[in-house]
Amino acid sequence: MPSSALPSLRRLRKQELEEAQTMLAAAQARAMIAADAVKIAEQNLLNEREAAMDFSADDHVVEAYSRWLPVGRAALERARGLEQDAAMEVEASRTRLTLARAAFEAVEKLMEIRRQEKEAASRRKEQNTLDDIAGRVRSASEPEPE
């Protein structure tokens, strides 16, 4: 790959890395919201059951609970499903972030290798120039054969 393309590739990989970080943060936020929804649904089930089991409650409260219970359980199952989906999204986002980070680091490493190669070539060129000058000085200072 030409060295001139590496800065552009680095910018692209950096952008992908930043997008992956943003996506992970958003997925984690959604996972937290989903976990909160599960907690709320579980708490609703407990609250309704406690109200129905209260000995001072009349039959209407118990009947309302029996009608509400399937709805409450369904809400809890939906919340758990969304929580599971959110957890899978977080894992997928983490994988994407890992891959983006690896791609970015690979470009940076390649750029560093190219920089070192240029420095080594420059040092070799400088050394060759010095060797050439030293050779000329030696040949100029040697006496001419008779």
How far apart are alpha carbons 34 and 55 in whole angstroms? 34
**CA 70, 59, 46 angle in degrees (round to 5)?**
45
Q: How far apart are CA 32 and CA 13, in angstroms?
A: 29
What is the C-alpha to C-alpha distance for residues 105 and 1, in angstroms, rounded to an integer? 16
The pLDDT tens digits for 93-112 are 999 999 999 999 999 999 99
Question: What pTM was estimated for this model as a whole?
Answer: 0.74
Total count of domains within the chain: 1
Once rounded to an integer, what is the mean pLDDT over residues 23-51?
97
In a domain, 85, yes or no: yes
Domain presence at residue 66: yes
Domain housing 75: 3-115
DSSP state at residue 55: T
Give the whole-angstrom CA distance, residue 51 versus residue 116: 74
Q: What is the CATH number of the domain that holds 82?
A: 1.10.287.1700
Q: Residues 77-94: what's their mean pLDDT?
A: 98
pLDDT interval class at 142 (50, 70, 90) = confident
